[in-house]
Homo-oligomer: A and B are copies of this chain.
Amino acid sequence: MSTEDNSNRFSEVSRKFGITPEDYMLPARHMINLLNPDGSLRSDAEQGTEPGHEYPLPSPARLLEAYEALVVGRRVNDQNSALVRQGRMAVYPSSHGQEACQVAAALCLEDGDWLFPTYRDTVAVLTKGVAPMEVMTSFRGEWHCGYDPKAYNCAPMSTPLTTQLLHAVGVAHAAKLRGEQTVVVAMCGDGATSEGDFHEALNFAAVFKLPVIFFVQNNKYAISVPLAHQSAAPSLAHKAVGYGMAGERVDGNDLMALMAVMGRAVRLAREGSGPLLIEAHTYRMQAHTNADDDKRYREDSEVAEWVGKDPVIRMRAYLDDAGLLDEKVQGKITAHAEAVASTLRDGMNEEADTDPLQLFAHVYSEPTAQLREQRELLADELAREEA
């Protein structure tokens, strides 16, 4: 690539939208928001639509599909939290309140596309199609990630913050070198944007013009640390221009807006417009994990404020009003959610995979002589215990 290539690419996109490349890269002045908290559609004027930031409404069928995933996601979050309280699961970082983001991240992708989730993105992983008990494996305290990333085109949920964004870039790069049209969604939180790997990933994606959508769930906290201690930028989406990619802010509790923005981002990326940075404004309704005590760092009133912006209620109200959701459909959706929840309850009653000799099986393609010795030692101990 060369400077000319890169500027050509941006002139093309920006010409398409009739704006300058810089304006294409800077986020719209206001975050993209299509539904009011009460579920009513915002008018164009309310949306403050700007050139280059117009987002067509997703189709009713698409919205219904997304709503179903949303309801399932909420149920899974709450079921998992219950399982943790009952001591049947070790730890769970709930995305309660952020389910619209989770659902949109997975649904905007096509089958061959890849998703790179974090520890909080259970619902996105589920929506991508991974079986519920497989997703939950690591939260049970098992030693592996539970699912086959290649079978689902879904990376293991990453704990070391933003390291996975670089893996996402690599997956996209490999696909591009083979001439494949793979789009990758790479997720992280607001706090994670401060890590060096965030910077390196966005820069690599931009320089190599890769179809990666960096999707930041800005839920206002990194454990106890509020956004203001994390960044002084006008918005996290303003980071995009510094890499030469487009940035956009979207209401992360507005499933309609998310589907629209993520849908367009995937389209642009697949057409070769390079990476994008999407910042979704949302809120983590529960503590960081069950081990955290959020009373130490935020007011109940702040949490209460966000109850009124709940993504599930908002979407349901819209669909109800639009006549898209009759009782029968809602019933089927609820049943689906209950079925997933009961799979989880049942699964957590079953024994986890705990063959200790497995510890040596996958460190290398074959155990080294050293590992074979260590395996022997443990096998001996186990044999003696049994005897």
Residues of A whose CB lies within 8 Å of any CB of B are: 1-6, 21-22, 25-26, 194-200, 203, 206-207, 209, 226-234, 238-245, 274
Contact = CB atoms under 8 A, between A and B. Distances in A.
A203 B229 CA distance: 10
A230 B199 CA distance: 12
B234 A206 contact: no
B238 A209 contact: no
Label chain A's interface by main secondary structure.
helix
Contact of A195 (B196, B206, B228, B244): B196
Nearest to A2: B228
A228 B196 contact: no
Given A22-B234, A196-B197, A203-B194, A1 B241 contact: no
B200 A196 contact: yes
Nearest to A5: B228
Given A207-B231, A233-B243, 9 more contacts: A2-B226, A3-B226, A3-B227, A22-B26, A194-B200, A231-B243, A233-B242, A234-B241, A234-B244
Contacts of A1: 228-229
Nearest to A200: B196
A84 to B, nearest CB: 32
A212 to B, nearest CB: 13
Contacts of A200: 194-196, 199
Contacts of A238: 22, 241-242
A228 B198 contact: no
B243 A241 contact: no
Instruction: Determine which residue in A195, A198, A229, A238 has the highest number of CB atoms from chain B within 10 A of its CB, and name it.
Output: A238
A45 to B, nearest CB: 21
Contacts of A244: 231-234
A228 B195 CA distance: 24
A237 to B, nearest CB: 9
A160 to B, nearest CB: 13
B245 A242 contact: no
A189 to B, nearest CB: 15
A228 B25 contact: no
Contacts of A199: 194, 196, 198-200
A197 B195 CA distance: 9
A240 B209 CA distance: 22
B196 A209 contact: no
A6 B242 contact: no
B274 A245 contact: no
15 contacts: A1-B228, A3-B226, A22-B234, A194-B199, A194-B200, A194-B203, A196-B199, A199-B199, A206-B233, A209-B232, A233-B241, A233-B242, A233-B244, A239-B242, A241-B242
Contacts of A245: 232
